[in-house]
């Protein structure tokens, strides 16, 4: 109940602003809250279209939860494959190493 109220407030306050990332964060949170329902399919396209590919690992994690709740094994496998392809840990470590090298130079 409280999550519903908080998400409704977030959508009310953010819906009219052009803060696509914040709006998408709120929608990902709603996806987790609604895991198992049919509301999960459009967020990946919206994130990509909005030019926010960095939000995709968060979205894919929420989608993995959604597919697990639905026992959608094929969809879960595909989502987990996309998470592996994102290689977030590797990319993060590369960024850290590059920044460290830059600071040492």
Taking only the tens place, the pLDDT of each residue in 27-72 is 888 877 777 766 666 777 777 888 877 888 888 888 888 889 889 9
C-alpha to C-alpha distances, 37 to 8, 66, 86, nearest whole angstrom: 18, 8, 25
Please tell me the predicted confidence (pLDDT) of residue 26. Answer: 81
pTM of the model: 0.59
Residues 66, 36 contacting (CB under 8 angstroms): yes
pLDDT value for 37: 67
**Calpha distance 79→65 (Å, rounded):** 10
């Amino acid at each position: 109940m409280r999550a519903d109220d908080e998400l409704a407030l977030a959508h009310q306050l953010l819906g009219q602003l052009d803060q696509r990332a914040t709006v998408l964060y709120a929608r990902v949170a709603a996806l987790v809250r609604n895991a198992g329902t049919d509301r999960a399919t459009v967020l990946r396209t919206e994130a990509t279209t909005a030019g926010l590919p960095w939000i995709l690992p968060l979205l894919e994690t929420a989608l993995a939860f959604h597919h697990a709740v639905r026992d959608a094994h094929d969809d879960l496998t595909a989502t987990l494959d996309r998470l592996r392809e994102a290689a977030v840990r590797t990319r993060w470590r590369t960024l850290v190493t590059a920044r460290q090298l830059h600071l040492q130079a």
